Structure 1
Amino acid sequence: MTAVSPSPSPLPAPAASPLERSYRRLLRVLPRGYRERWEDDMVAVLLDTEQEAAAQAVASEGAQRQDEEFELALLQRPPLREVAGVLGLALRLHLAAPSTPGASARSRAVGDAVRLTALLGLPLPAAYGVQQLVLMPWWAEQPGWSQLTVADGVEWVAGCVVALLTWTLLVAGHRRVAAGAAVTGLVVPWVVAGAQLPPPWALPPGELVVWLVLLLPLLSVAAWHRDAPAPSPRWWWTLPAGVALVFALWGLEQVRVSGASFAADVVVAAFALGAGWRHADRGWLGAAALLGMLALVRGVVTWGFVAAMPAEQGVAVLAAMAAGVLAASGIVVVLSWARWRLLARLNRPSQHAEVGPEAS
């Protein structure tokens, strides 16, 4: 009987180089499903690219020198160009457009929601800026106006201007310029006000919330990447609608409906909820949830401000209005999120691509 010799044990896999490990860590920013399918291929392509770059750097020094250069490259970190490329791909996949290859239905719905948040969230602060410019002569005659300093209003006025500029560029189709305006505009108030304006972390809670509420629509402009369709021309009507809303609420305050202006944010969120509910569109519903959360945050701060006021005539009305805004914002968030989840179970995609602001 012939003895069967044991089969040789498999050779251990070669250890990954520092560059390969860095690439794999970097690729974790990609969606899980996409990464599980393409990670190995992407790492191989990235390493081949580095090998070609190393070979070209010493092309005239022979094959041995090229191998040595590649071995040195394997000990380095990923080049910034590759890091930027992977991060850009991650942004396009997480906030996908209908034409983004390899993106999931959920990512497309999230991308639509974030893009709509920019289109719906920026006109409101822009409308406040228009209101302030129009009513400036009237406000200048009010008691206490002369006690205001540059720092008291420059951060809000500058934010309104940034919102107006970013939204205008976005709707005009200049998406990259709009993204640049959104990013650079965040530092404009501190450049204009100089030492009179404290840094963001030292702002009073009320002013800090104003910036946080403005920050989300500005950051949402990043979802308008190269795969995203251009905004419909019908979005030009959004700014006049925002201005009309702001002036209408201000007019209600003049006829003793104290705190009516608190409702502007929740009105916009409710509009998005109505459009999403009517069209069974997850993009609009996601935007309603995000805008409703912003209205909720502003409502909490407003409630705290009103609660700290001395008990005088009219304060009870302000408190009731703040409580109403809080309740309405919470209802919008709950309804939009519940409807989003229901449509997700039914596998209903976002369909808003060319729907204009009059969709509801």
Structure 2
Amino acid sequence: MDEQGMSNLERRYRWLLRVLPKWYRQDREEEMVGIFLADRTDDLDLEHSWPGWGETGAILGLAVRTHLAAGAALTSVPARVMWRGEVVRVLGMIGLLLGVFYAGAAITNLSVAYGNPEWAQPISWWRLLELAPIVAFAALLNGRRTPAKIAAFAPVVLTVATLAQTGGHVVLWVLFQLPGIVTFLCLCLGFHREAPTPPARRLLWWGGGALLLGVLGGFATGTGLLAIALITVVVRVVAFVRGDFVLGRAVSLFALLQLAPLAFLLVGGEVLVIVLPLAVLLVLCAVAPVRKPSARPRVS
């Protein structure tokens, strides 16, 4: 549309709508702009006003749902958009399983500390937040997305509070927590209100396995990153053999995220013989080709 006869308010609405994907704007932009401007006829309003906060929030929420479409509530969604949404949701679920793994390790640590008060450090009730990913996992499988996201964020609050008390190095923390931070964002963005609920029956096995491995790993301090890296490599190979594009792409991205925390283990040099081969394998997982899908993803 020619901008010469366009008011400033309409121009601002159109700029805001650019957060939506092009395929969606082609069908809906004129209709949406007409609705926004329907009751705004005052000349001063048209020249000096801006889109309201409520409208802006609604459009940003719509942008998330359209860029990461689940397909059920939208029509004419390009296949690449649906695949992108599925990959983001799987990556978010991988991050939640990572949290369950660390929650299992926390159960072991808390149990040891509680059972040996003579040598263990005093237990702070705040440390119970480390178990929140288990709650988040159960809530998400039950379709309760908002409580799941809040619970998944709880360990981050605990870590930030610990850093504030101890004066820890923020950059170091961010790099170590990079896989968890990115996958948490994927969890929040991917599981929007129109996204399907994850299949509980299949994922319960994954969740139980992550919890059990975390409990066992809690007895061997420092092996968590190594175990996660090794499991990532195994799952990536399984995804390639099965021709699972969504899982393969998500695990490739997750492998790339893990390189940051592994880099610090390499700098330490204490487990160089183990960490270096794992780092190489993670790089191969990240750059290895993924079989392209031959059909659109199935929507639950």
Same structural fold, with TM-score higher than 0.5 when normalized by the shorter chain: yes
Q: Once the two structures are superposed, what CA deviation does each residue of 1:124-182 show, in whole Å capped at 9, x if it has no partner?
A: 23222222322445468699965x997xxx7xx57733433322221121013223444
SS in 1 for 2:66: helix
Query: Would you say 1:175 and 2:148 are equivalent positions?
Result: no
Q: 1:269 to 1:19 in 2, by over 3 A?
A: farther
The AA in structure 2 aligned to 1:15 is G
Structure 1: gaps of 5 or more residues? 1-11, 55-66, 308-314, 355-360
Query: Would you say 1:196 and 2:145 are equivalent positions?
Result: no
Q: Is the 8 A contact 2:69 2:85 kept in 1?
A: yes
Q: Is the 8 A contact 1:125 1:163 kept in 2?
A: yes
Partner of residue 102, structure 2? 128
| 1:326 Cα offset (Å) | 0.6
| 1:266 Cα offset (Å) | 2.2
User: After superposition, where does 1:1-360 map in structure 2 within 5 Å?
Assistant: 14-48=4-38, 51=39, 54=40, 67-68=41-42, 71-99=44-72, 100-136=74-110, 138=112, 157=127, 160-182=130-152, 186-190=156-160, 193=162, 195-198=164-167, 203-222=169-188, 223-234=190-201, 235-249=203-217, 260-304=223-267, 306-307=268-269, 315=270, 318-335=271-288, 338-339=289-290, 342-343=291-292, 347-351=294-298, 353=299
Q: 1:203 to 1:220 in 2, by over 3 A?
A: same
SS in 1 for 2:275: helix
Q: Once the two structures are superposed, what CA deviation does each residue of 1:19-39 show, in whole Å capped at 9, x if it has no partner?
A: 111111111111233334433
Q: Is the 8 A contact 1:124 1:243 kept in 2?
A: no
Distance in 1 of aligned mates of 2:52 and 2:18: 17
Q: Is the 8 A contact 1:178 1:221 kept in 2?
A: no
TM-score if structure 2 supplies the norm length?
0.82
Q: Is the 8 A contact 2:217 2:223 kept in 1?
A: yes
Root-mean-square deviation (CA), in Å? Answer: 3.4
Identity %: 22
Q: Once the two structures are superposed, what CA deviation does each residue of 1:299-348 show, in whole Å capped at 9, x if it has no partner?
A: 122212x23xxxxxxx3xx111111221121111122xx21xx516xx54
Q: Once the two structures are superposed, what CA deviation does each residue of 1:201-231 show, in whole Å capped at 9, x if it has no partner?
A: x735442223322212221222111221111
Q: 1:82 to 1:197 in 2, by over 3 A?
A: farther
Distance in 2 of aligned mates of 1:246 and 1:184: 18
Distance in 1 of aligned mates of 2:231 and 2:35: 46
| 1:275 Cα offset (Å) | 4.8
Distance in 1 of aligned mates of 2:166 and 2:100: 21
Q: Once the two structures are superposed, what CA deviation does each residue of 1:52-106 show, in whole Å capped at 9, x if it has no partner?
A: xx5xxxxxxxxxxxx43x6525521101121111111110111111323342211
The AA in structure 2 aligned to 1:211 is Q
Aligned pair count reads: 295
| 1:293 Cα offset (Å) | 1.5
Structure 2: gaps of 5 or more residues? none
SS in 2 for 1:343: coil
Distance in 2 of aligned mates of 1:103 and 1:267: 36
Distance in 1 of aligned mates of 2:136 and 2:47: 42
Q: 1:245 to 1:180 in 2, by over 3 A?
A: closer
Distance in 1 of aligned mates of 2:82 and 2:129: 29
Distance in 2 of aligned mates of 1:31 and 1:269: 32
Q: Is the 8 A contact 1:131 1:246 kept in 2?
A: yes
Q: Is the 8 A contact 1:121 1:217 kept in 2?
A: yes
Q: 1:177 to 1:261 in 2, by over 3 A?
A: closer
Q: 1:181 to 1:23 in 2, by over 3 A?
A: farther
Q: 1:131 to 1:81 in 2, by over 3 A?
A: same
The AA in structure 2 aligned to 1:85 is A
Q: Is the 8 A contact 2:83 2:246 kept in 1?
A: yes
Distance in 2 of aligned mates of 1:145 and 1:294: 33
Higher mean C-alpha displacement, 275-284 vs 225-234: 275-284
Q: 1:20 to 1:144 in 2, by over 3 A?
A: farther
Q: Is the 8 A contact 1:120 1:238 kept in 2?
A: no
Higher mean C-alpha displacement, 239-248 vs 79-88: 239-248
Q: Which has the higher contact order (CA 8 A, sep 6+)?
A: 2
